[in-house]
Amino acid sequence: MKSTFTIEGMTCSGCAAKVTYTLQQIDSVSEVTVDLDARQATVRANRPIDVSEVSSELAQFPKYSVGPTASNTDTAAALKPVHWRTYWPLILIGLFISVVATGITWQTAGTMTAWMEYFMGGFFLVFSFFKFLDIRGFAESYRSYDLLAKAVPAYGFVYPFLELALGLAWAFEGGSFRVALSTVALMGFSAIGVIAAVSRRQQIQCACLGTVFNLPMSTVTIIEDLLMVGMAGALLIP
């Protein structure tokens, strides 16, 4: 059963992430989709969800107000396909990091292993940078799908520092055993939550670039995490 509500007071993707996570705590709710532009939240559950329940759940955040139900239907709507342009910021960042890593490798007559080390360092430094722009918004968004962040909300605030530390480690220490192993552990565990969210077909925001870009969670996010795991794992092989 799907119900759509008007949510006033949402001004950024951090707000959308906060509303999404909060409404997911309502009993029987299986999926929450927030349309920031339309200021609407669509809730799927196996029972009717009314305005009073949504208002009660969001009462802890006075800036949000719930309007009348915009729609209430039992018809299951198909998920909209995601256009590749949605991920253009992610693609562009990946291309820039690749070009820089290639240039440094070329100038230093490095190997493919050196290229991976430069790429990994650039990846973690850039991605942590975007998370630090709105660390609170990132933490709220990350908590909507990461297993550890759900259990320990403070982990969402710690995670950007872990990525920053890994970026510096790759830049100054290279692909040592402990750096590569730490990367596999961090990104591998993160991928578990992403895979679970995608398999449940949850329409939530991917927090890989913080709240600066509104990237939907999809198989692209899984590929991103597993690519980092694969590259780091390759350096663990003697």
Name the one residue in this structure whose structure tokens are 């670039």: 209
Measured between its terminal Cα atoms, the distance across the chain in Å is 53
Return the minimum-mean-pLDDT range out of 88-97, 179-188, 189-198: 189-198
Confidence of residue 69 (pLDDT cuts 50, 70, 90): low
Looking at residues 3-11, what average pLDDT do you find?
A: 84
Q: How does pLDDT run across 152-188, given as a tens digit for each residue?
A: 989 999 999 999 999 999 999 998 999 999 999 999 9
Confidence of residue 203 (pLDDT cuts 50, 70, 90): low
Looking at residues 212-230, what average pLDDT do you find?
A: 80
Domains of the chain: 2-73 (3.30.70.100), 84-234 (no CATH)
Q: Please state, for a pLDDT cut of 90, what percent of the chain lies above it.
A: 34
> Which residues fall within 8 angstroms of residue 38, CB to CB, at 6 or more apart?
none
pLDDT, the chain, mean: 84
Q: Which two tokens stand for residue 201?
A: 């077909």
Name the one residue in this structure whose structure tokens are 């975007």: 130
Question: What's the confidence (pLDDT) of residue 73?
Answer: 41
Q: How does pLDDT run across 142-159, given as a tens digit for each residue?
A: 888 888 998 998 999 999
Instruction: Please tell me the total number of residues recorded for the chain in this structure.
Output: 238
Question: Whole-model pTM?
Answer: 0.68
Sign of the C-alpha dihedral computed for residues 39, 30, 88 and 184 taken in this order: positive
Confidence of residue 202 (pLDDT cuts 50, 70, 90): low
Distances (CA, A) of 43 to 17, 33, 179, 238: 14, 7, 41, 50
